Amino acid sequence: MVRLLAGILLFTLTGCQSRAQQQPASPTPALRTEVNEAVSQSRQNAITRAVEHASQAVVSINVISINVIEVQSRDPFAGFFNDPFFSQFFSEQRTRRVEQEVQNLGSGFVISPDGYIVTNHHVAGNATKVTVSLASGRTLPARLVGSDKASDLALIKVDPDEPLPHLNFSSEPDPIVGEWAIALGNPLNLFQASEPTVTVGVVSGLRRDLGNHDGQLFYDMIQTDASINQGNSGGPLLNALGEVIGVNTVIVSQSGGSIGLGFAIPAARAQRIIEELRLNGRVDRAYYTGLKAVNLTDQIVAALRLETRQGILVVELDEDSPALHAGLSQYDVITAVEDEPIRDTDEYVARLYDFRPGDTITHDILREGQPLRLELNIGRLRN
């Protein structure tokens, strides 16, 4: 019996030892670290790296501005003076101008360590007070350096006590249709003083023209399906390298929310305007060509025997004007400026807004059915 128990005990101990030898050893701290790093690296991609690089340079902007509105009110004396003689001096309705304080919200991004920040004109262009909330949680007062309504760009400045993270513009002339597009900003002002919201899509199209809206010229825009909502205005549109390819500006929507039709000002145009705002506080648009043109109509197309309705008709030229010196003549049809097609007079003005007095720009024209290319040196409008 004792021998039997001893055998059982020996078998049990041997089995336990065998199972213990079969169990894997616990991973060492070094092994755990190596595995975690491998998993973390497998989750990272070009987009996460771009966001990590850029997010600290994106800000929320809170703006106070003063709007002047006209208010109709009933004249308190109108009912008292029923006599026709007095009624000529007192009317039923009176109009008065009232100043109204308005709060506006948007996004922006830092472009220099000393605190220059890009945003939209419709965000900060009429500001009387500007406050900037950084991704780090700090809030700083800002001042408006300059603003340009036509391009819908504005430049503001904070004075940080240490260099700020900032973004660089892409040096490529154009993004690639179909490449990643990353929009950063603070939609609906939900998360002030925190890291920005990230939405991702692709570059859906280039050189999209939305026309002239209340003096704002939305031409040659970048189209993206990265979700852009109210409050994203002024934030950056990035490529997968974390470079700014555009400034998020406008959406097309029937609901007021994103439906995948967002538009950004291209980096190349934004850079030139921003630099002018930094140096001068405004954009010099005192250009002068000395020509007057009208849109083509069916009657004009028929009379000139044109094969297309694309272009504008020169109807008048000032004496000693840049247009006259360039060789333009009455009844020339301007079809393109700097190789960009011109469809109407609004588009011609929009193309000129990309240039400044002193610039020389090419004009493609049709004269009696024959194509010509002329160079026009933009003059300066005299006061």
Mind telling me the catalytic residues?
A: 122, 152, 233
Helix H, strand E, coil C: the string for the chain is CHHHHHHHHHHHHHHHHHHHHHCCCCCCHHHHHHHHHHHHHHHCCHHHHHHHHHHHHEEEEEEEEEEEEEEEEECCCCCCCCCHHHHCCCCCEEEEEEEEEEEEEEEEEECCCCCEEEECHHHHCCEEEEEEECCCCCEEEEEEEEEECCCCEEEEECCCCCCCCCCCECCCCCCCCCCEEEEEECHHHCCCCCCCEEEEEEEEEEEECCEEECCEEECCEEEECCCCCCCCCCCEEECCCCCEEEEEEEECCCCCCCCCCEEEEEHHHHHHHHHHHHHHCCCCCCEECCEEEEECCHHHHHHHCCCCCCCEEEEEECCCCHHHHHCCCCCCEEEEECCEECCCHHHHHHHHCCCCCCCEEEEEEEECCEEEEEEEECEECCC
